[in-house]
Amino acid sequence: MAIFPKNKILALAAGCLISTVMMAAPVPEGEQNSGKQKASSEQNASYASARPEVEAFIKDLVKNEKFSRQEVESVLGKAKKSDRVLELISRPAEKKLEWKDYRKIFMTDQRVNEGVDFWQTHAETLAKAEKEYGVPASIIVAIIGVETYYGRLTGGFKVLDALSTLSFDYPPRSKFFTQQLKEFLILVREQKLDPHELTGSYAGAMGIPQFMPSSYRAYAVDFTGDGQSNIWQHEEDAIASVGNYLKENGWRAGKPIASKARVQGTKYEQAIGKSVKPAKTLKQLETSGWKPVNVLPSATRAAAMSFEGEKGTEYWLGMENFRVITTYNRSKLYAMAVHQLAKEVSTGYKTAVQNKKTQATVANKS
């Protein structure tokens, strides 16, 4: 197993997944692969050195990353401006979903069942990754399930086109995406990949786990031992990369993620903040009227949260591992979806394993 050396892990990379640029609400499935459908209508962008911002980008790569001007100009010369990317990134945000609506998207029988199937198919790899990184297999499966429906919906936009468009034709986030374009060109050189062939989301997130280029360079893992971290086609690499990402962002092995809570009194709402950082101990939160349903040490730190569920307001306490999940996507709705999907898939997987054992026993006796 070969993880990129620590000196390649950039400070910028932390948390630079798709979550940093997308809304909490997921992209509709019909738009996941719309890049392929729109490709024929895109027009070649004038990403030439005549544009000051492109010239500055080229000079930076030549001076600081030892690229030749010719190779950078050659790559950018084949990049295409995508009007569809600009439409998706700049359209007005959809109405903010409440938990009761957001939950319905991910907590479906089909997504749970496919998660069980994914786990059964990759049980050995998941067990190895859990041991290596201390992250439960259920959490890794759930993140991949939420991000790309277990690798089925990884996006159909060419990463080079998406990142070039957002770097040079989307001023509001130009700085961020220019850095991601730089990281992308470095990673394709390091991994000996074709920059014109790699696909991802409209924001440039790549592969089964939807890593932005900087996150790829920081956390992607070669779990197959073939010398390349192939998060596009190898589930093994994707699984390990998610585990490594969470570990490097502070995952605490064996520690709780979240607990439902009971509230009472008149001060409990004052304890709810915007941050999911677990700043107070359960003992401190208890003075505000919060009590976890699960039995936890009073010194455990947690963040008080509320969600609008189908049967009314739900109260939850999120611990440090809940916060770590939000580094993958900066939304407490996302983290709660991952947490609950992981539980459902775990239950389904254990049942499936037990059923197989029972069937084997019956078969041996007959």
**What are the catalytic residues?**
147
For β-strands 199-200 and 258-263, DSSP reports them as: unpaired
What is the phi/psi pair of residue 44, to 5°?
-60, 130
Give the span between the Cα atoms of 358 and 354, in whole angstroms: 6
CA distance 257 to 262: 17
Q: What is the per-residue burial (b if ≥16 Cβ within 10 Å, else e) of 193-227?
A: bebeebbbbbbbbbbbbbbbbbbbbbbbbbbbeee
- DSSP character for 309? E
For 8, which DSSP code?
Answer: G
Nearest to 268 by CA among 244, 286, 246, 281: 286
Q: What does the block give as tokens for 123?
A: 């049980």
For residue 98 the two structure tokens come to 């409440």
Quote the CA–CA distance of 266 and 259 in Å, as a whole number. Answer: 21
Please name the residues in contact with 323: beta carbons below 8 A apart, sequence gap of 6 or more: 250, 276, 277, 278, 303, 335
In this structure, what are the phi and psi dihedrals at residue 118, rounded to the nearest 5 degrees?
Answer: -60, -45
The pair of structure tokens assigned to 47 is 């990403």
Report d(CA 29, CA 32) in Å as an integer: 5
Name, in order, each residue with C-beta under 8 angstroms of 249's C-beta and a sequence gap of 6 or more: 14, 15, 324, 327, 328
Question: DSSP assignment, residue 236?
Answer: H
Neighbours of 42 (CB within 10 A): 17
CB 155 within 8 A of CB 205: yes
